[in-house]
Amino acid sequence: MAFKAIGEAEIRRQAAQAMIDLFDSMYEGAFAVDTRARISWMNDKFKALLGWNGVDLVEGKPVEDVIPHSEMRRVLDSGRADLLDIIDLGNRQLTVSRIPLRGEDGRLLGAMGVILFDRLQSLKPLVTRFQQLQSELEITRRELAESRRAKYRFGSFVGATEAVRQLKRHARRAAERDAAVLLYGETGTGKELLAHAIHAASPRAQKPMVRVNVAAIPETLLEAELFGAAPGAYTGVGRHGREGKIQLADGGTLFLDEIGDMPPPLQAKLLRVLQEQEIEPLGANRVVAVDVRIISATSRDLKAMVDKGEFRADLYYRLNVLPITVPPLRERPDDLPLLCEALLEDMAHRAGGAPREVAADAFPRLAAYDWPGNVRELRNVLEQAAAAVDTDVLGPDDFDGLLPRPRSAARQVSAKPAGEIRPLREVLAEAEAAAIRHALEQTNGVKVEAARRLGISRAQFYAKLASHSIMSETPDRWKTV
């Protein structure tokens, strides 16, 4: 009753005093900053806690010079208090409150920081939970770093044709240098795979490889995704801001897929990364130094885009220092057997069970198709064919319905016999001998491989070599492997 009688104003005054007394008895350290985040006062206990030398004045110094990574500036900017936070100081953890200080007219005068406990016993449950979360975070970070390491090496890029050998030679050379690489190639040709392999073979291999698919991210989100955002730059950015992918790739490689889709304003910002090795996060008035190597990829004709004014010429020249073209699958049909084998093995490895095979007589069927989706499409077709039949070996008919009929008459015409009519036996024998010579050439004379790719046994292969007298044609031409 008596309490009620003293009125609300008095209760508030008493409550405020009680809070101040409680604070006084609890706090272990305190300091205040002015509106420019310079220390205006600090008690001796906190100075001792910080290990301050007692000679230099802390007063007047920017708060971050005295308390590394201090969050006071954010409290000043937002005008909002942090009632409870846990900070790391050296190897200790402290519980802190940050409170903005205002004059009677409500104007911001500065802010106060209070260290409530330097031994966190009284907050044990909270601290235990915090430490648990921190160690979980650490594990997740490590896993993330691991997943950001390159997934593929040059050995993962399957192919033995001259076109692929040359491609790998170029890519290996590019890996040794630190210049920007631009990968050209149709969709599904393995550009991303190569980017990973280049990174894995480069001196940056131990650092992250971060990929951004420019075409897959809406233009409005792309800037923050790439360059990061300062706290409060837009709704949804946490109080620590958001790190952009460029910063995540610091020390390592940034892989920009579909670079041709980069909107013009961001092209200018990206140019700055290449020229100055620095970024400006969205909404921040500061720049951050970064050290990234850029590998970009495109399925579009970037040079034509430059000529049409759709892509900045200066950026194009910075990205195109080491251009590498990845050939489409239809230009290297001789890689089909190796690719099918590798893809079917990989599928079996993932799904369990023995790998399927593609029958030798199915390859002409596969080679006759254009493969606009390249190796990715080949993988899909093999997956569908394997799912549809139970047999271990996939024959030509198993691809019916999955592939359109052969793309043009051209290939058929080339197989069409010309000139006089000769006995079928003779024509077939000639075709067989030609196929064997071709197989030996393509496998550099490695007979086991030639037999495998022709889809016949070694014994059959040797018998055919003998019957066509191929070994005696050019002594030492073919190795006896």
Ligand X SMILES: Nc1ncnc2c1ncn2[C@@H]1O[C@H](COP(=O)(O)OP(=O)(O)OP(=O)(O)O)[C@@H](O)[C@H]1O
Q: Which among 227, 230, 246, 247 is positioned nearest to 238, based on CA atoms?
A: 230
Residue pair 452/446 in contact (Cβ under 8 Å)? The answer is no
Binders of ligand X: how many residues, by CB under 6 A? 18
Residue ranges in 13-42 that form contacts with ligand X under rule CB under 6 A: none
Radius of gyration of the chain (CA): 34
Q: Closest separation between CB of residue 325 and ligand X, Å?
A: 11
Q: Which two tokens stand for residue 344?
A: 């079917």
The reply to whether 193 sits near ligand X by the rule CB under 6 A is yes
Least Cβ distance, residue 177 to ligand X (angstroms): 21
Q: Which of 100, 185, 252, 337 lies at the binding interface for ligand X (CB under 6 A)?
A: 185
Residue 110 contacts ligand X per CB under 6 A: no
Q: Which of 188, 244, 260, 281 binds ligand X (CB under 6 A)?
A: 188
| 159 near ligand X (CB under 6 A) | yes
Q: Of the two residues 67 and 222, which places its CB atom closer to ligand X in the complex?
A: 222
Q: Which is nearer to ligand X, 100 or 159 (CB)?
A: 159
Q: Check binding of 380 to ligand X (CB under 6 A).
A: no
The residue (of 45 and 168) whose beta carbon lies closer to ligand X is 168
Residue 190 lies near ligand X (rule: CB under 6 A): yes
**Joined tokens for residue 382:** 């093999």
- Which listed range, 153-161, 173-181, 270-278, 310-318, lies at the site for ligand X (CB under 6 A)? 153-161
Closer to ligand X by CB, 297 or 315: give it. 297
Q: Find out whether 238 and 231 touch, Cβ atoms under 8 Å.
A: yes
375 in contact with ligand X (CB under 6 A): yes
**Closer to ligand X at the Cβ: 366 or 436?**
366
Taking the complex as a whole, how short is the minimal distance between the CB of residue 313 and ligand X, in angstroms?
23
Least gap, CB of 331 to ligand X (angstroms):
13
In angstroms, the CA 191 to CA 189 distance is 6
| Choice between 185 and 241, CB closer to ligand X | 185
Q: Which of 43, 267, 299, 320 binds ligand X (CB under 6 A)?
A: 299
**Side-chain half-sphere of 418: how many Cα atoms within 13 Å?**
4
> How far is residue 362's CA from residue 332's CA, in Å, rounded to a whole number?
16
Q: Please give the single-letter amino acid code of residue 326.
A: V
Q: Is there binding between residue 151 and ligand X (CB under 6 A)? A: no
Site for ligand X in 319-348 (CB under 6 A): 342
Long-range contacts of residues 72-81, Cβ cutoff 8 Å, at least 24 apart: 72/33, 72/37, 72/98, 72/111, 72/113, 73/37, 74/231, 74/239, 75/99, 75/100, 75/111, 76/33, 76/35, 76/37, 76/100, 76/108, 76/110, 76/111, 77/232, 78/232, 79/108
Stretch near ligand X under the rule CB under 6 A, chosen from 1-9, 259-267, 371-379, 430-438: 371-379
Q: Which of 71, 82, 192, 334 binds ligand X (CB under 6 A)?
A: 192
CB of 288 to ligand X, least distance (A): 29
* Residue among 74, 98, 148, 191 that touches ligand X (CB under 6 A): 191
Q: Which residues pair with 357 in a beta bridge?
A: 393
Q: Is 373 helix (H, G, I), strand (E, B) or coil?
A: coil
- For residue 150, the tally of other CB atoms under 10 A from its CB is 22
Crossing angle of the two packed helices 458-467 and 447-454, in degrees rounded to 10: 100
The number of C-alpha atoms within 13 Å of 401 and in the hemisphere containing its C-beta is 6
Residue, CB closest to ligand X? 190
CB of 220 to ligand X, least distance (A): 22
Please report the DSSP string for 71-116 in residue order.
-HHHHHHH---EEEEEEEETTEEEEEEEEEEE-TTS-EEEEEEEEE
Q: What residues between 237 and 296 interact with ligand X by CB under 6 A?
A: 257
Piece of 26-34, 180-188, 287-295, 439-447 that binds ligand X (CB under 6 A): 180-188
Residue from 187, 267, 325, 380 in contact with ligand X (CB under 6 A) = 187
Task: List the one residue out of 155, 254, 250 whose CA is nearest residue 195.
Answer: 254
Nearer to ligand X (CB atom), residue 118 or residue 377:
377
The verdict on 300 binding ligand X (CB under 6 A) reads: no
DSSP string, 420-442: S---HHHHHHHHHHHHHHHHHHH
Decide whether 387 or 421 has the Cβ nearer to ligand X: 387
User: Using CB under 6 A as the criterion, which residues of the chain lie in contact with ligand X when the complex forms?
Assistant: 157-159, 185, 187-193, 257, 297, 299, 342, 375-376, 379
